[in-house]
Structure 1
Amino acid sequence: MGILVDMDLRESMVEVRRVNDRLIFIKLVIGECTLNVVSPYAPQAGLDEEVKRRFWECLDEMVRSIPPTERLFIGGDFNGHIGVVAGSYGEVHDGFGFGDRNGRGTSLLDFAKAFELVIANSTFPKREEHLVTFQSSVAKTQIDYLLLKRSRYRLSAALSVRQTSYRDFKMVRTRATGDE
């Protein structure tokens, strides 16, 4: 878990907060725009329910603390599958996911719905290799997601998945521009 910041933006960072082993946050002020970047790492399936509950409470508290006038970008490993079918989550999931939804994916969709976020990974059709964010010799999944306030951004179809130096994991990246 971490946040990479372009060297040109280092001076724009006004706050860095490591909440715990699963949540980090930075705030940048770029001109008149304040951008809050959150990087979560959700607990895996086998961990205790209390650990999972605390993760969602901390993330919820962090997002609530961000003024609505400021931009919000959440990108991280949610260890859940939102699946292909949007179902009752059409306002946060545009139907371009991967695989089948699981309970942790439903938790992510509920969180996105509560905060009026869109899951950027699901907004445009992509080839499978651009949807899968974790791939091993036995499984392919989409567990890493980018969440943005739908009302504040125009999403770019340039969301992509790139191989990293870690054999099984891939980096998700996108471009988002403000509506102002």
Structure 2
Amino acid sequence: MLFADNIILVVENKTKVQSGLVEWQQSLESFGLKISRIRTKYMLCNFGGPFSSEVIKLDDTIIPVYPDFRFLGSLLQSDGELDRTVKHRINLRWMKWRQVMATRCDSRISFKLKEKIYKSIFQPVVLYGLERWTTKVIDERRLYVAERRMVRCMCGTRMHKIKNDYFSGCMKKVPVIKKLKSNRSSWHGHVIRRNDKHILKKVLEMELIGYKGRGKPKKTWMDCVRNDTP
């Protein structure tokens, strides 16, 4: 995949990674370009067992192995889970929260203005690309708790014994979990309307070939879509 000056190689084994890296290096250097030895990263996705790194070199430089990879605002995990990704998004939202510290909890600001601040600054940080997530109950719970905590701080009643339903009515905002399910259903409809040769349609309809371990199968994105549909 290509994006601006970034290149991502997605292959099945170490040999293809090494050969692809050398091929790109030779092609770029023929045009006077150079691959950064510092910013180049390598992530091994081993979903079937424990993490085991394999050495990849660029000339004499060993490419470091990372358990996570950040690309276009998303955090990709080598184990295919979402726990660190959810924590990363929540931390990003609190970073934005600190940037507007002077206005976020000011009692002189109306709920209507605070609602606009929340929808325009805090909510997009979490919702960006959220429709492609295969969320578990614990992931949704973490997002819900972080949202409730932030809203109670904005209303100045974090320590008061007031039910969460009261704040939803005051600020008239859609809960992040409900927004997540709505965006996921919309994205599903967007993919379904594509022609059969489109890459998104192929990925949605493809069947995984290989050995499946014992126990309950992992939750898929389509399982989330079915659960979101009332």
Q: So what's the TM-score if we normalise by structure 1? A: 0.32
Greater per-residue strand proportion: 1
Q: So what's the TM-score if we normalise by structure 2? A: 0.27
